Amino acid sequence: MQADESPDDLPVAPPLYSYWVDVSDLSDTGRQLVLTLDEPTRATLAEAFDLIDLPMVTVRADLQPRGAGVTLQFHLTAQVVQPCVVTLEPVAGDVDEMVTLHYTPRAVLGETSRIVDIADEEDPPEPLDGDRLDLGAAVAEHLALSLDPFPRKANAELPSSALDGQHAATGPFAALAKLKREET
């Protein structure tokens, strides 16, 4: 970032998935909706998140007015198939997350400080884009955050040859180890 650029001036990659919800007519009782991702959308997300398969993603969302903004609470459930970090074999898993996000109009966000105290218990609000919010982008982001970073198949072990040091003599550091032995 150059000295004369603000974070708002930087290019932003488009979201992997968008599902815009108009909140201009949100009543005092709010609005509930259920979203089930179709196969092409699941395939796009599976590829982006290095999944073998993403057979199901369902979102049950509740939108409630909150001052000048909106509170979005959603229950994200998904079935995922990831590659095992040891064997690369498929590992099935489930995602079951409750997420709460607060959205505030950009004008209101501009009046507050951009500095966020990391001790705050609550995340800073997301900006509303006019009278709408992107539920799809929030779902994709929280799906990615919910994935097991190290999926491992039950009883998966490294091959014994990888553990006994046989490859150490020919590995990338073998020449360095040989030089070190010659110096001493």
Give the confidence band of 5 by pLDDT, cuts at 50, 70, 90. low
pLDDT of 3 strictly over 60: no
Q: What is the arithmetic mean of pLDDT over 144-150?
A: 94
CA dihedral sign, ordered 81, 77, 145, 130: positive
pLDDT of 112 strictly over 90: no
DSSP 8-state secondary structure symbol assigned to residue 46: H
Q: What is the arithmetic mean of pLDDT over 152-169?
A: 65
Q: What is the pLDDT of residue 119?
A: 46
pLDDT of 176 strictly over 80: no
Assign 75 to helix, strand or coil.
strand
pLDDT of 167 strictly over 80: no
Closest to 71 (Cα-Cα) out of 23, 109, 103: 103
Task: Tell me the backbone φ, ψ of residue 157, rounded to 5 degrees.
Answer: -135, 155
Q: Say how far apart CA 37 and CA 16 lie, in whole Å.
A: 13
b/e string for 34-58 if b means 16 or more Cβ within 10 A? ebebeeebbeebbeeeebbebeebe
Give the confidence band of 111 by pLDDT, cuts at 50, 70, 90. low
Q: What is the pLDDT of residue 9?
A: 62
Give the confidence band of 115 by pLDDT, cuts at 50, 70, 90. very low
Q: What is the pLDDT of residue 113?
A: 45
Task: Tell me the backbone φ, ψ of residue 25, rounded to 5 degrees.
Answer: -110, 30
Q: What is the arithmetic mean of pLDDT over 114-140?
A: 77
